[in-house]
Chain A
Amino acid sequence: MFRDTYDPMKDDMIQVMNPEGEIVHPEWMPDLSDETIIQMYKTMVYGRIIDHKVLQFQRQGRILTYAPNLGQEAAQVGSGFALRQTDWVASAFRELGVWLRKGAPLYKILLYWYGNEEGMHMPESVRILPVSIPIASQFQHATGLAYASKYKGEDDVTIAYVGDGGTSQGDFHEALNFAAVHETPNMFFIQNNQFAISTRRAHQSKVKTLAQKALAYGMPGIQVDGNDIFAVYAVTKAAVEEARSGQGPSLIEAYTYRMGAHTTADDPSVYRKEEEVKEWEAKDPILRLKKYLSRKGLWDEDQDAAYKAEREAFVKEEFKKVEASGLVPLEDVFDYLYAEKTPDLIEEYEKIKARYAKEGK
């Protein structure tokens, strides 16, 4: 839909709903049922509650490192809703809203951040690649996933996520180039949250918008208001449908803001002022959709409070189960290097086991 009309060199940003929750571009407003819109809202709120609770657990010393999503919920949930269940997701590590939408069980997500690889063993139907920490490297996997779908004659598409910092990596460029050359069904989704840890977007790239980078590869690029869930959904949905129907890949830049820290190991007060964060609080993606829903009479404060209380209790319950899971057994550390353990791995495993037995562990 946008690929024929949007010119990335004009630096426009697609917006459907303004920060007041008013629809300013009805012609782009996606055709969504009230139930779906409420579902989108709930998924964003759920994600924020998870963030909030996990940060509490972290401060209590019950979880180690965590990468919060605060402020980026619309970019994640909006794009996630544009996918169907069998589509592939190549994640980085700040895509909680997408994971929730794709049906990743909370227990698994929490188990991963708790420090157990088993957390990234998702149900088969989820189709999310595990967390990829080397920045932008997952973009390359996304091209292969999409090539294979097309090769097999399946019409699943693949979406890959990266931050603004990740657009500087070679893997970002190579992947876009591969996808354009092979016309694979890929969406490359940049969550431009303005920071790579502490490095600002302006220090990352000289181009005016990151969407413009698409032009170098001969694919459409589009910048969207990342805090407007309707705009994110509309733009991603259009790209998904185009990719699914054989029109090739596209690049989407969701312009948003990381209101929290990079991870729990980061202190953003070192590199940014509180006033800047305050400015973005006024553009909060959840608040924006809530205003829309209240105006339409689809959601009220009682419902809001009840939903939040119910989700909070659920997160607490799931985390209790995670804490009860204890330490990773020795077998798990040795069992997943190869389909079959090598003689050397068997020997090393037996040695450690014998040592533990001697020590009475």
Chain B
Amino acid sequence: MAILNFIEAITHALDLEMGKDERVVVYGEDVGYEGGVFRATKGLQEKYGDKRCFDSILAESSIIGSGIGMAINGLRPVVELQFSGFMFPGYNQIVTHAARMRNRSRGQYTVPMVIRMPYGGGVRALEHHSESLEALFAHIPGLKVVIPSTPYDAKGLLLAAIRDPDPVIFLEPKRIYRAFKQEVPEEDYTIDIGKAKILKTGKDITLVSWGAQVRDCQKAIELVEAEGYSVEHIDLRTISPIDKDTLIKSVKKTGRFLVVHEAIKNFGPGAELVTLVNEGAFLSLEAPPSRIAAPQVIVPLPKGEHHYLPAIEQIADKIKELILY
């Protein structure tokens, strides 16, 4: 058992799979020699050579597009886009090809590929370094979208993603890359894509979050539970396909629902989740299924970012408001 932070768990998973499966190649901007700007691929080029771990040309569409070709021709590319805010030149390849190749060729050509990207705010960064774009991927048929919130889950989900027969968008909450460490087993294990995790059971309300928001929600839960309320907390872990069953079962029990995300509110993932709850648990509801999300604004630069991200007190207040509705 090793004690690893999130980024170390990513490196560990990549190392493990590269050692097991020669088809796995890892590349992206600065990924080879330097080991990536966040050091997610540290040491891999040295260990596996520059054919298996290399610096890509500085072109996101090439990173995705070449990966599609490699995947079709028998490799298992795991590519890194430096920040999700720079994914747009590659978005065309993701949407028009990676997601569609299986359907377009009626199953003849498939794209078993993982596209890793650090995402999310709260790191006091420049423009285009703080976005939460999961809805842009979850909206696309043919993609899977995964967001781990702990080192343990990061390893298990990444191994599952690499072994998945279809393209997986793997979003990494960079705010918690080094925020805490956790015991991560050395051995091989996977976590099912498409399965949420009940972090703690409770009876008054179902709270759903993912990524870095999981920790903020845990702090909010501490505040409200000190006042005698009981919260059931679910880490969604996979944004697409959504684990609807776990969600609905929980809401039927608690009668209340709140989703917290730092992606912007309008047409965001919360809208989908609230609709699922309305459709699946309407008669159990004691309060309007609700969401806390960033407003429909451009992520502010560091001196204004506090206006944007959900705040712990805000989450705690909303939980109480819904319980007392």
A and B interact: yes
Chain A residues in 8 Å Cβ range of B71: 144
Interface flag for B201 (CB, 8 Å): no
Question: Majority SS of interface residues in chain A?
Answer: helix
Give the nearest-CB partner of B62 in chain A.
Answer: A174
Q: Are A338 and B65 in contact (CB under 8 A)?
A: no
Q: Are A332 and B67 in contact (CB under 8 A)?
A: no
Interface flag for B266 (CB, 8 Å): no
Cβ contacts A157-186/B at 8 Å (1 or 0 each): 010000000000011001101100100000
- Binding stretch for chain A, among B99-107, B229-237, B289-297: B99-107
Contact of A174 among B25, B61, B101 (CB under 8 A): B61
Contact of B57 among A117, A178, A332 (CB under 8 A): A178
Interface flag for A245 (CB, 8 Å): no
Interface flag for B64 (CB, 8 Å): yes
Interface flag for B189 (CB, 8 Å): no
Contact of B69 among A117, A122, A130, A142 (CB under 8 A): A142
Q: Are A144 and B244 in contact (CB under 8 A)?
A: no
Contacting residues of chain A (114-161) with chain B, CB-CB under 8 angstroms:
117-118, 120-122, 124, 129-132, 134, 137, 139-149, 151-152, 158
Contacting residues of chain B (1-49) with chain A, CB-CB under 8 angstroms:
25
Chain B residues in 8 Å Cβ range of A332: 106
Q: How far is the CA of A175 from the CA of B68 in the complex (A)?
A: 13
Q: How far is the CA of A132 from the CA of B92 in the complex (A)?
A: 12
Contacting residues of chain B (54-101) with chain A, CB-CB under 8 angstroms:
56-57, 59, 61-62, 64-75, 77, 89, 92-93, 96-97, 101
Contact of A117 among B68, B77, B92, B104 (CB under 8 A): B104
Interface flag for B282 (CB, 8 Å): no
Interface residues on B, range: 35 or more
- Binding stretch for chain B, among A290-298, A300-308, A339-347: A339-347
With A174-B59, A336-B106 in contact, do A151 and B51 touch (Cβ < 8 Å)?
yes
Chain B residues in 8 Å Cβ range of A90: 69
Q: Are A144 and B67 in contact (CB under 8 A)?
A: yes
Contacting residues of chain B (189-208) with chain A, CB-CB under 8 angstroms:
194
Q: How far is the CA of A335 from the CA of B107 in the complex (A)?
A: 9
Interface flag for A255 (CB, 8 Å): no
CB distance from B233 to the nearest CB of A (A): 22
Give the nearest-CB partner of B60 in chain A.
Answer: A174
Q: Are B93 and A140 in contact (CB under 8 A)?
A: yes
Contacting residues of chain B (164-209) with chain A, CB-CB under 8 angstroms:
165-166, 194
Cβ contacts A343-354/B at 8 Å (1 or 0 each): 110000000000
Interface flag for B108 (CB, 8 Å): yes
Contact of A140 among B62, B142, B245 (CB under 8 A): B62
Cβ contacts A83-97/B at 8 Å (1 or 0 each): 000001010000000
Contact of B241 among A145, A171, A344 (CB under 8 A): A344
CB distance from B17 to the nearest CB of A (A): 16
Give the nearest-CB partner of B95 in chain A.
Answer: A134
Give the nearest-CB partner of A127 in chain B.
Answer: B73
Give the nearest-CB partner of B65 in chain A.
Answer: A140
Interface flag for A337 (CB, 8 Å): yes
What are the 3 closest A-B residue pairs judged by CB atoms, nearest first? A140-B65, A144-B69, A148-B73
